A and B are shown apart, each in its own frame.
Chain A
Amino acid sequence: MRKRLSIEYFAVLALILAGQGCRNDIDLVLSSDPIPVVYGIISPDDSIHRIYLTQSINPMDSPGNLTAAPFVVTVPEADVFLELRTPEGLVIERSRLRRVQGLPRMEGIFRAEPNVHYECAAMNIIDPAPGTMVLYTLTVALSGNPHFLYAETEIPPEPSLQFGKGLHTHTPVNLFPEQTENEISIYLPDTLWTEFHVVVHYFEKINQDWQHQSIRYKRNYPAVIRNSDTRTDHFNLDEGWFFTLIINNIKKDPLVQARRFDHMEFGVTYASRAFNDYYRSIQYESDLDNSLYSNIVSGMGLFCASNSRHYSGFMLNPRSLDSLMNGICTRGLKFVE
């Protein structure tokens, strides 16, 4: 009796498992064809738009290696076009990119040979009016077997910063006033990735020679759904922030005879949603091939756009400079007037 029951239950269990097991299958098919990879960030500030196009000869390769390791990539011959399309997709301007052999790069994407890219003169329509969206489309036709890549991106509008009444270009900044005077307001569009940055420029005197140095501070605001009250962020250029930045980034160095503050620069960059998703996928990249974001149809990689604006020439007033030179925490850094 016990034996018969066991057979029955095993039979039913097997049937249920068999019935459920055939669902939710995922076919992991590995293609033996090379994987085309595109990498391109275009900007209204470009005089030349550049697109990096490679393909992996190793179908097992990870996306990270595809864009970094030189020995697994080749640069295909291709027809590469940058187009301006209406929202309905009508092509109203098209530029053919030409293949260019550059010098080997020492860092960044495709950091060694073959450093071949495709480029064209910048299209002159990349400053959209408020409320309008300009779409750029990248198309690639690989030679040989028909294989076409497609990607599109919006051009972000030109960003701007709102400065408090104490902040003016070429006017010395007082780091010790009412905080609202040194407040910078950053508008954060919901669908765009935003970066706000501050660059402090200074000089170091080494062997009687003044050399330019800089410290960069930045804040990123991913394109996520935000509370409507937080569409604007505020940055206070107060003494606490400033001296902390200096102390954390400039170290005492016996070779440095003196340092001299020069000026500060503020900037804001908007980047299209694709960049936001790519950036975040890099932050959380795992071993899974699909973890790296791609917006290239029939290929892999990133095609996106950014738009930046910089405000330069912000000085320090005598009291702030004096604190930098003689303050307890910073006087060891040898800042002079």
Chain B
Amino acid sequence: MNQLLSRLAAPLIIALSGCNPIDRNPPDCLVRVFPEQGDSLTVFLFDGAGSVDDMTEPWQLKIRWDAESDGKWETDFSISKQFSWRFPTNGLYSVTGEVQDGAGNRSTNTFIVDVREVFRDSSFTDSRDGRPYPAVLLVNRWWMSENLMYGQKTEDFVITRPNGIIEYYADQNDEYGAYYTWSEATREGEDSVAGICPPGWRLPRKKDIREINDLVYFKKNLGKYLLEDGILGLDLRLSGRFVRSAGKWDGQGSRSSLWINDGTKPGRFKSWALYRNSSETDALAIVYEGDWGAAAYEGWPIDWGEFNYGQVALPVRCVKDYQ
């Protein structure tokens, strides 16, 4: 009997330890959600295809999902790694994925999904003069959906100078709101971040414009999204500009330019151009005075003198970060 056991021992040890090692390590549960933010009609896609294990092939890993991390699993374990779900009401939801390897080891990963109105119309009042403005929430930013009209109107022939009074030019029909020089828009050069925006609001930055660009990344039909009654609710006006040095109102009804401020270089002049009949090459653009070809891009005739944003008055739209 002892002889039999001794003969069996070696193959047993080899079989149990060498050929089929015991898997005691749980898999890595790597999941992603697409999109990370949506509203109550958005169907979110959860994907655990990135999960890995040291012993089990990825396709053999099984995963199950708990859409609200309440311990009630919405799915059984399945080799299908994707799961789709819609949340009925706004709020932050904790979603859990649990992955299981061939040996039954499990690991979980929990992440947050933000469900809220991504685009929302609203309004606010400028506490300085009681003027109401419509506003729209675009992803993470409130945007004024009307040009700012704050300060004191001045005549076209007046050269605005620092005098402690915010002054603006207005087109003949008062159709497009106020046009400010960069000096006036930055509170006579004192604040290039908030500028003359209502308390809590600030001038748009390059990054803010990039976010709008992301919303219209397909480049065509910009007007359908950005102009009046557009899908995004931004209601940009084709208000053009006032060229103070030439005394010209220019671009009304055909282009939109707004002051923006690049936080890295405060005080420089920027312009945001939008053309109604955009071709494949026209898109939202941020134009700097020093850019090559900026004068041509801006359509600056020679008889207006040297191209200079200091001679231009533009409307202002303010933004406010979403809380």
Chain A residues with CB under 8 Å of chain B are 4, 7-8, 11-12, 15-16, 19-20, 23-26, 29, 79, 81, 85-94, 124-125, 127-130, 132, 134, 137, 139-141, 146, 148-150, 297-298
Contacts and interface: CB of A to CB of B under 8 A. Distances in A.
**Residues of A contacting B: mostly:** mixed
B5 to A, nearest CB: 10
B218 A297 contact: no
B35 A150 contact: no
Contacts of A86: 214-215, 217
B215 A81 contact: no
B279 to A, nearest CB: 9
Contacts of A91: 35, 38-39, 41-42, 118
B238 to A, nearest CB: 20
Contacts of A79: 41
Contacts, number: 118
Contacts of B82: 150, 297-298
Interface stretch (B128-136, B178-186, B220-228, B252-260): B220-228
Nearest to B59: A26
Given A132-B218, A139-B43, A297-B45, A90 B224 contact: no
Nearest to B57: A24
A148 B46 CA distance: 12
A147 B41 CA distance: 13
Interface of B: 4, 7-8, 11-12, 15-16, 19-20, 34-39, 41-43, 45, 60, 74, 76, 78-79, 82-86, 102, 118, 139, 214-221, 224-225, 231-232, 280
Nearest to A298: B84
A15 B83 contact: no
Given A124-B221, A129-B218, A149-B84, A90 B139 contact: yes
B38 A148 contact: no
A4 B1 CA distance: 10
Contacts of B16: 15, 19
Contact of B217 (A24, A81, A89, A132): A132
A110 B101 CA distance: 40
5 contacts: A12-B11, A12-B15, A23-B102, A93-B231, A150-B43
Nearest to B215: A92
A148 B218 contact: no
B219 A125 contact: no
A284 B46 CA distance: 30
Given A29-B76, A86-B215, A139 B86 contact: yes
Given A89-B34, A91-B35, A129-B219, 16 more contacts: A8-B4, A16-B15, A19-B15, A19-B20, A25-B102, A86-B215, A86-B217, A88-B35, A90-B35, A90-B215, A139-B41, A139-B43, A140-B43, A146-B86, A148-B84, A150-B45
A11 B8 contact: yes
Nearest to A17: B15
A4 B8 CA distance: 10
A8 B11 contact: yes
Given A8-B7, A130-B280, A150 B84 contact: yes
A126 B7 CA distance: 75
Given A124-B224, A130-B280, A150-B45, A88 B19 contact: no
Contacts of A11: 8, 11-12
The 9 closest A-B pairs by CB, nearest first: A89-B35, A139-B43, A19-B20, A150-B84, A12-B11, A15-B15, A129-B219, A148-B84, A297-B82
